[in-house]
Amino acid sequence: MFVPAIQGQGTDEQQQKWLPLAYRMQIIGCYAQTELGHGSNVQGLETTATFDPKTDEFVIHSPTLTSSKWWPGGLGKISTHAVAYARLIIGGEDHGVHGFIVQLRSLDDHLPLPGITIGDIGMKFGNAAYNTMDNGVLRFDHVRIPRNQMLMRVSQVTREGKYVRSNVPRQLVYGTMVNVRQKIVADASVALSRAVCIATRYSAVRRQFGSHNGGLETQVIDYKTQQARLFPLLASAYAFRFVGGWLKWLYMDVTERLQANDFSTLPEAHACTAGLKSLTTTATADGIEECRKLCGGHGYLCSSGLPELFAVYVPACTYEGDNIVLLLQVARHLVKTVSQLDSGNKPVGTTAYMARVEQLMQYHSNVEKAEDWLKPNVVLEAFEARAARMSVACAQNLSKFANPEQ
């Protein structure tokens, strides 16, 4: 995330300076945002970056124990630099969280620089699972960096210490997360496919009950109960692969638009990647566990590959956005879409169906036989109607809390 952060939030000059160094591996960067005390609540980060007008520098400092950077991958042993997020303080005024490029280790002997304290946070869930990643802890003790190492595409600090906001929206910081989350969705298909492959092969080989006259017992995969648990996971693995490809296209489209200073599709891209990250990682983690159960006692053995796969994958439900928090962000996007309908704003992209909200609120299925549900348009319309009704109901309920009298 070090490189995408600079690409999305750095000026052209900053990109020209730092990206070649990263591409040539002359520096190794990490993304230091999460702190011991704050993860999902980015605006609650405590690390400070105070501008010193006398030296034209920022002073990066960890004022509390909970302000320690916690979890950045690659930080514990490897990284020489970080994009660190800190509260910008100018003349005693807090301008919120911004990104800063900070050197952590010497490029000569790899030792931490003065004022930098780094460590590995230790073993994680599972045996060898995720422990190849050197997730680290980082503290700053009044570390000074040049003013031009603040990522300044969205906002700038002048030599005189004046804070200037550009016309670029703050939502640009979502670009980094959009990139990471679309990759997580694609990875969900890979992990679930592995688990389903193991469970399917086991189900085909394993035989249990149903033997007549000394013949072969029935293959487990032929039991309806096994199929009802296994086959939906197989379908999900394919679906996640397709949606991962679509998200990659969406990210590339958004990136091209951002380069042309077109930010119109960024909010939707953020909502889509947030929602699908939550959906696919939760379903995949649950699916891997279900595959373990489908393999009976053998699935509990490390030799099955499933316990290790679960231990490696389950952190995806938490990192790069807690799944419940991400769903709330999607809900906020949908409620905002509903609230804008009265003002004449036409929904676009994945929420385009909201333009037919009045029709969808009156929707009644015309399905006459089970085979009708095999038609994609029938299923899609049912989902659109359900989504529209739930979004409108949620918006109406929330509006009651906005009224002081209620």
DSSP per-residue letters across 305-325: SHHHHHHHHGGGGTTTS-HHH
Give the C-alpha separation, 43 to 33, whole Å. 11
Same domain membership, residue 404 and residue 293: no
Same domain membership, residue 209 and residue 145: no
Cβ count within 10 A of residue 118: 21
Instruction: Note the pLDDT tens digit of each residue in 307-348.
Output: 999 999 999 999 888 999 999 999 999 999 999 998 888 888
CATH number (domain holding residue 16): 2.40.110.10
Same domain membership, residue 226 and residue 157: no
Indicate the SS3 state at residue 399: helix
Same domain membership, residue 278 and residue 392: no
Q: What is the pLDDT of residue 406?
A: 44
Same domain membership, residue 209 and residue 69: no
Instruction: Note the pLDDT tens digit of each residue in 77-130.
Output: 999 999 999 999 999 999 999 999 999 999 999 999 999 999 999 988 876 667
Query: Last residue of a domain, which of 332, 360, 382?
Result: 332
CB-side neighbour CA atoms (13 Å) of 234: 12
Per DSSP, helices labelled H in 113-166 are none
For residue 87, which phi and psi values (nearest 5 degrees)? -80, 125
Same domain membership, residue 214 and residue 75: no
Query: Last residue of a domain, which of 119, 146, 168?
Result: 168
Residues 6+ apart with CB under 8 A from 53: 160, 161
Query: Under a CB-based contact definition with an 8 Å cutoff, are residues 40 and 64 in contact?
Result: no
Query: Under a CB-based contact definition with an 8 Å cutoff, are residues 59 and 52 in contact?
Result: yes
Same domain membership, residue 312 and residue 352: no
Same domain membership, residue 287 and residue 270: yes
Residues 6+ apart with CB under 8 A from 133: 73, 74
pLDDT for 405 beyond 50: no
Number of domains in the chain: 3
pLDDT for 41 beyond 60: yes
Same domain membership, residue 139 and residue 65: yes
Domain extent for 95:
2-168
Instruction: Note the pLDDT tens digit of each residue in 141-199.
Output: 999 999 999 999 889 999 999 999 877 666 666 677 888 899 999 999 999 999 999 99
Which pLDDT band, with edges at 50, 70 and 90, does 213 fall under?
A: confident
Q: Average pLDDT over the chain, rounded to whole?
A: 92
Query: Last residue of a domain, which of 273, 299, 332?
Result: 332
pTM of the model: 0.86
Q: What is the pLDDT of residue 127?
A: 62
For residue 40, which phi and psi values (nearest 5 degrees)? -65, -35
Same domain membership, residue 238 and residue 290: yes
Same domain membership, residue 204 and residue 327: yes
Segment 34-53 mean pLDDT: 95
* Residue 267 burial by Cβ neighbours in a 10 Å radius (0-12, 13-18, 19+): middle
Same domain membership, residue 345 and residue 284: no
CATH number (domain holding residue 295): 1.20.140.10
Residues with catalytic roles: 320
